[in-house]
Copies of this chain bind each other. A is one copy, B any other.
């Protein structure tokens, strides 16, 4: 049976875009995800309005996520 979290489980190693509750948008290469929707991204960047900041590896806390979508 399909489960919603499989959207992310199947996207490991691919680029994903994550929309956050604080209106920021994070994108990166998905390395891991858990049942709380915490995600581990590599080569992450955060966009806030027009400004983009680059990070290396990043842990995004699951309860701040509105939606996530693979972009590859």
Interface residues of A (CB under 8 A from B): 1-8, 17, 19-24, 26, 31-34, 37-40, 44, 46, 55-71
- Residues in chain B near residue A56, CB distance under 8 A: 69-71
A58-B68, A61-B66 provided; 20 other pairs, C-beta below 8 A? A1-B32, A2-B31, A2-B32, A4-B32, A4-B39, A5-B34, A6-B40, A17-B55, A20-B66, A21-B64, A22-B23, A37-B38, A37-B59, A44-B69, A55-B69, A56-B71, A58-B69, A61-B68, A63-B63, A64-B65
Question: Given contacts A3-B32, A32-B3, A40-B2, is CB(A8)–CB(B67) below 8 Å?
Answer: no
Q: How many identical subunits does the complex contain?
A: 7
